Amino acid sequence: MLTPEQVQFFRDNGYLKVEGAVRGQELTDLQAITQALIDVGPSPDMAPGEIKDYQYGTVRGLDRPVLRRIEYVYGKGDPFLKLLAHPVLLDAVQKVVGEQFVPTYDSMVVKMPGNGVEVPWHRDGGGPTLFYDDPQTGRRFPAVNFDIYLDRADETNGALWVIPGSNKDTVNRAPRLAEKSEYAAVPGAVLVPMNAGDLLLHDVTLYHGSPETHGGALRRVLYYEFRDMRFINAVHRPGPGEVAPHKWPDTWTRARLAILQKALDTRRAAGWEVPFAQHPDPALRVRAEEVAHAPTRVPHPTWDEAAAKAAA
């Protein structure tokens, strides 16, 4: 569980490595199901939005697209749900995101063996505002990604590069850094090697990226992002008639909270430890009847609609 010193390191630097967070059968199950998703890929009988979940990129010297990302993994198998309720993960979430936490994004980023797509220097998406400062208390609520590594990551297969402290930059320099596709030569950049089962926390405002790879081993990372409900209410609620990927109505956040409850129930039913039976904040708990019928794939507004329109 995170110590106060680790929490402060995260706030100061924008990232934090937690070794050996996921172990044993749980890690094995995640490796197996993600490999199956990679091997099978999207099928023609899927809905357009589900096909769009599989994202591809380009690699120099190849004339074919290369898998780089799979979106909305909660809906793609119980191991992803059980991981969402992991005690180490949710302890970290409460301590760095806020007590009113909501799971807001879920995906897997892949560096395919032999040819891995570059992820240029960037700050993560999710809207133009990547944190919320409460005007009454002055407390900052960050948006944070929790990155669960399923494979070893080093220089050969696209380990992540970060610039510590860049989460405090008021001007976004990431687009300029991305122009040259340089990593080791960037002033202040640090390589973050990881082992399978390690957890990396990163503030979405941190400059981070990973180079294109050639000849390296497979590298899979699950990304579970969380934001506090106070952040969401201040920044992400839609206005009248407004529909946008980063504007989340109450029905959407309730559906995401239902996924969290389903994750707690699924993990506990498997006989694995959970940190609590329900969301610690009573206002964010979801009734059992809602959970029973709740989908586990809950894309952001317009995702499925845009995919259906493109496929028509």
pLDDT tens per residue across span 211-236: 999 999 999 999 999 999 999 999 99
What per-residue confidence (pLDDT) applies to 127?
52
Domain boundaries of the chain, sorted by first residue = 4-311
Question: Cα–Cα distance between 221 and 110 in angstroms, integer?
Answer: 7
Question: Cα–Cα distance between 75 and 109 in angstroms, integer?
Answer: 16
What per-residue confidence (pLDDT) applies to 125?
80
The string of pLDDT tens digits covering residues 153-164 is 999 999 999 999
* DSSP-assigned letters across all residues of 138-166: --EEE-EEEEEESS-B-TTTT-EEE-TTG
Question: Cα–Cα distance between 207 and 248 in angstroms, integer?
Answer: 25
Task: Indicate the pLDDT class of residue 129, thresholds 50, 70 and 90.
Answer: low
What per-residue confidence (pLDDT) applies to 217?
98
To the nearest 10 degrees (0 to 180), the angle between helices 87-96 and 4-13 is 60
- Tokens standing for 262? 């389903």
Q: How far apart are the first and last CA of the chain?
A: 49
- Tokens standing for 175? 């687009």
What's the average model confidence in pLDDT over 93-98?
Answer: 99
pLDDT greater at residue 280 or residue 126: 280
- Tokens standing for 98? 């806020």
Level-2 CATH architecture, domain 4-311: Sandwich (2.60)
Spatial neighbors of 212 by CB under 8 A, at least 6 apart, are 59, 60, 116, 117, 118, 158, 181
What per-residue confidence (pLDDT) applies to 245?
93
Strands (E), the chain: 15-18, 54-57, 66-71, 101-111, 115-116, 119-122, 131-133, 140-142, 144-149, 160-162, 190-192, 199-203, 208-210, 213-214, 219-228
Spatial neighbors of 90 by CB under 8 A, at least 6 apart, are 275, 276
Question: Cα–Cα distance between 94 and 84 in angstroms, integer?
Answer: 13
Q: What are phi and psi of 104, to 5 degrees?
A: -110, -25
Residue 231: C-alpha distances to residues 134, 139, 207 (Å): 8, 11, 21
Q: What are phi and psi of 92, to 5 degrees?
A: -65, -40
